[in-house]
Structure 1
């Protein structure tokens, strides 16, 4: 069924605190737009310090309660499994709400969100499999560790993948026994509010999952610098990460920051060209290019460079731009007029710096959606490493192509960036693929693929792309404090001050 977004009335939302939606006390309201039409579809509060503090108090009370904090590990794992089932039962509603709110084509949204329930099942499994260590030590002692949940996780999520990026953190939070206060992007709060409601209805105790709405520079900042947070999780721009990370460091909170990216894709001449072009289009334009792992720098061996550029031009111009609810649509709008203008400004920058505009470079017109924030998928060629479009994150349907001579040249270009979130390699030479994977500066490397993730595989970057890891045991373990316990198993008398001269060991 083709759904008309225009039929959706403007909804007024508050914050989600202590198990239900409440009116915020801040006073001012923010408009939430449908990026495909520019229409206002909802309003949310710009939360005040008092609103943030109320959510934090609710989270702390839940963490210390018998209902959640005192819950048996196996009971909690079973509950997280039921939350996954509830998520799955509501997928159709969540698909459509997320497409309405962030403009991704429905087919993309469905393909992404359908995997999310298994994030919770994976971390529930880790909770069941968790074992604390017994450590062999010198002497007649038993040494072991105890891990306890760290407490409140403050989570600031972005607009590009509202539910997916939330769930990367939320699944570990709930399975570990922590609690959270989430500040979703002011552009895309609707599915976060809906998921909180779904989870409470499925049995999650009140206060475990709270949501405060508002602008990043106000509500987000107040959350990151709150004196009672124990861990900060933020996905966003590098500068936002620096500011939020510095604030959280003042209270010595754990941090996981996934920040900017400028993913290099190294294409060698032994790889099938058409397949490389198809991966290039997917990596660059999925999600309208609004991903931190966007394939934004294609580095192509000189012997196939011209043919690659020609084929990528043809592939890019075949992509269907349109109404995100139309099953035929392959590319939706960017999130806002501001983001559209930013992407178009980089088109002008690329031309001014001497890069060759291969295709795109302008706003796209979609019949019936004239006020939407659509941008033509854009390809620049003959880009050098000194150009701004090679170095700076654009965050839109925008990619560049640069030739390289050999493996060392490809690596030099790939590593010529302050970012280090992801990288991709296209080659049939197995030894070369592993050599490059070891030397490229990135936290994630794809060989002959792109944009793949799994809850068991760690996700995160190096350099200006952030710190910490989501997914995997690395993420789960970072939600605990480790306590070391040392037990004397001998029965020998001890009096240091009587036998000081004969003692041979102090520690």
Structure 2
């Protein structure tokens, strides 16, 4: 761990084995933090912010540090990408894209740090009224295992650009690229206590961060149930909360869409990242008139997806993150069958030959679903697609909005007006027309309903780490004259 500018191990001597999900072989051993280490990290961040002047550093100073991080990450991007593949299981090309995103995030927020973010107002009085934005203080950040480097980078770069200090916890399964990133943060010279890395379980480290009175804001990306608990814990001290949670995102395909494009993106929407993506298009809504043709092509192509270890060049879909998560996804397959859904393909773990030791699963597609089924309503977070059928635009919208989630959604149609109407009525924070998955660091990432509050990325993500302060200055200094005596 990295606390107050020093590399440390837990005084408890507890350790955790980190495994490669493609083989389940151990690839690292990391220290396991306790409440004591969390307390030390928080106090170091508090002292750096309030006593040692980090909040008063020039924006240009903060920007230069972030640019140095981006430069050094660029120099080591292949190393980071391979480490992400080994630790997370994702395809190497995807991991390399993640590193490129992380580099861009540090560059983007370095630029944003020096841009104006204050206002003045013309008020009907001899008063100069203004608003300034100030860093919120000590920020706790908890990142998930599906995008270990990207999620950490987008949260840290925004918070540091705003002038906050950071205590960050990676997912227990995937700490390796964040440890490497802290090597860079240490090398470029962030002052002691400004950035702190604590490893450990959510039940120990995460709970302490959420409940601690000296943490001014907590930013969490992960499952909805955990997010709900963090929100409850944070309420005890009324700290700012940012939650990016689960999804069950609809991908709506109308009959007038480009057929090949729609099929291609229906596959990408759900099977990219093994389906372990919060914004995955895990519900495919098909107009009835194209159902038979579309499903025939979709299933045929799903069966051809090349599955294997992420480091092999031809691999298109890697393993799931862990044995436990694989078992969870397989349980949902069983639930779907018990509920009466029709399994069109997949549904099994792959155990042949070289796959025997890894967490590999077939691409899985269900049809004949109803809105009340658990496989339609609940986030499975794996390579499992459920198909729903509609006949009218209004029915498509009703089905699309028919879950507790509202993270992402897509519409495929060649009717521009229809696309705009449907997007307008969808309850989702990230949407696409005739594409799926491309997002950009310049644009906000946030959800509706139980997919979260607040958000990351863009200017909106930057403002999440700032307070607004109103300042009123008298231009004509004299008594108010209110009291007559």
Fold shared per TM-score above 0.5? yes
Change (3 A) 1:366 1:192: farther
Deviation per CA, 1:233-291: give whole Å up to 9, x if none: 11111110011111112111111101110000100011111211110111111111001
Residue aligning to 1:56: 42
Matched, 1:20 2:20: no
Unmatched segments (≥5 aa) in structure 1: 1-14, 500-507
TM-score (normalised: structure 2):
0.97
Matched, 1:305 2:291: yes
Aligned residues, how many? Answer: 485
Residue aligning to 2:70: 84
Residue aligning to 1:480: 466
State the Cα distance separating 1:366 from its structure 2 match.
5.3
Residue aligning to 1:117: 103
Q: Distance in 2 between matches of 1:22 and 1:311?
A: 54
Select the residue among 210, 215, 221 that pairs with 1:224.
Answer: 210
Select the residue among 339, 349, 355 that pairs with 1:363.
Answer: 349
SS in 2 for 1:368: helix
Residue aligning to 1:283: 269
Q: How does 1:326-341 map to 2 (within 5 A)?
A: 326-341=312-327
Select the residue among 412, 417, 424 that pairs with 2:403.
Answer: 417
State the Cα distance separating 1:19 from its structure 2 match.
2.3
Q: Is the 8 A contact 1:266 1:424 kept in 2?
A: yes
Q: Distance in 1 between matches of 2:352 and 2:74?
A: 33
Q: Distance in 2 between matches of 1:274 and 1:316?
A: 14
Residue aligning to 1:175: 161
SS in 1 for 2:404: coil
Q: Distance in 1 between matches of 2:334 and 2:340?
A: 10
Q: Distance in 2 between matches of 1:253 and 1:487?
A: 29
Change (3 A) 1:215 1:142: same
Q: Distance in 1 between matches of 2:381 and 2:159?
A: 28
Q: Is the 8 A contact 1:274 1:311 kept in 2?
A: no
Matched, 1:235 2:221: yes
Matched, 1:450 2:436: yes
TM-score (normalised: structure 1):
0.93
Q: Is the 8 A contact 1:443 1:460 kept in 2?
A: yes
Q: Is the 8 A contact 1:265 1:299 kept in 2?
A: yes
Q: Distance in 2 between matches of 1:432 and 1:130?
A: 39
SS in 2 for 1:481: strand
Q: Distance in 2 between matches of 1:307 and 1:49?
A: 57
Q: Distance in 2 between matches of 1:207 and 1:329?
A: 41
Residue aligning to 2:57: 71
Q: Distance in 2 between matches of 1:214 and 1:415?
A: 37
Residue aligning to 2:138: 152
Q: Distance in 1 between matches of 2:477 and 2:229?
A: 54
Q: Distance in 2 between matches of 1:390 and 1:333?
A: 23
Residue aligning to 2:253: 267
State the Cα distance separating 1:27 from its structure 2 match.
3.3
Q: Is the 8 A contact 1:322 1:366 kept in 2?
A: no
Select the residue among 66, 80, 84 that pairs with 1:94.
Answer: 80
Change (3 A) 1:300 1:207: same
Q: Distance in 2 between matches of 1:16 and 1:362?
A: 41
